[in-house]
Amino acid sequence: MTDFFKNIPAITYQGPAATTEFAFRHYNPDEVILGKRMEDHLRFAVAYWHSFAWPGGDPFGGPTLQRPWFGETMALARMKADVAFEMFDILGQPFYCLHDADARPEGATFAESKRNLDEIVDYLGEKQVTHKAKLLWGTANMFSHRRWMAGAATNPDPDVYAYAAATVKANMDATQRLGGQNYVLWGGREGYETLLNTDLKAERQHAGRFLQQVVEYKHKIGFTGTILIEPKPQEPSKHQYDYDVATVYGFLVEFGLEKEVKTNIEQGHAILAGHSFEHEIALAAALGIFGSIDMNRNDYQSGWDTDQFPNNHAEKALAFHEILKAGGYTTGGTNFDAKIRRQSLDPEDLILAHVGGMDTCARALKSAAAMIESGAIEAAIQDRYAGWNTPAARAMLAGGLEEAAARVTTENLEPEPRSGRQERLENLWNRFV
Ligand code: XUL
Ligand code: CO
Q: Given the CA of residue 305, which atom of ligand 1 is nearest to it?
A: 6
**pLDDT 10s digits, 366-416:** 999 999 999 999 999 999 999 999 999 999 999 999 999 999 999 999 999
Residue 214 has pLDDT above 90, yes or no: yes
Residue 357 has pLDDT above 90, yes or no: yes
**pLDDT 10s digits, 119-168:** 999 999 999 999 999 999 999 999 999 999 999 999 999 999 999 999 99
Q: Rounded mean pLDDT of the chain?
A: 98
Q: How far is the CA of 186 from the centre of ligand 1 (A)?
A: 6
pLDDT at 99: 98
Provide the percentage of residues in the chain whose pLDDT is more than 70: 100
In the chain, where the domains are located? 32-374, 379-430
pLDDT at 303: 86
User: Residue 337 catalytic?
Assistant: no
**pLDDT 10s digits, 20-70:** 999 999 999 999 999 999 999 999 999 999 999 999 999 999 999 999 999
pLDDT at 93: 98
pLDDT at 224: 98
How many angstroms separate the CA atoms of 236 and 345, rounded?
26
Q: Which residues line ligand 1 (CB under 6 A)?
A: 99, 139, 184, 186, 188, 230, 232, 266, 294, 305, 337
Confidence of residue 302 (pLDDT cuts 50, 70, 90): confident
How many angstroms separate the CA atoms of 179 and 219, rounded?
15
Closest among 332, 358, 361 to 137, alpha carbons compared: 332
How many angstroms separate the CA atoms of 396 and 405, rounded?
9
Domain 32-374 falls under CATH 3.30.470.10:
no
User: Residue 102 catalytic?
Assistant: yes
Ligand at minimal distance from the CA of 48 is: 1
pLDDT at 21: 98
Q: How many alpha carbons fall within 13 Å on the CB side of residue 369?
A: 17
DSSP string, 368-432: HHHHHHH-HHHHHHHHHTGGGGSHHHHHHHHS-HHHHHHHHHHTT--PPP----HHHHHHHHHHH
Residues 6+ apart with CB under 8 A from 134: 94, 95, 96, 128, 178, 179, 181
How many angstroms separate the CA atoms of 44 and 296, rounded?
12
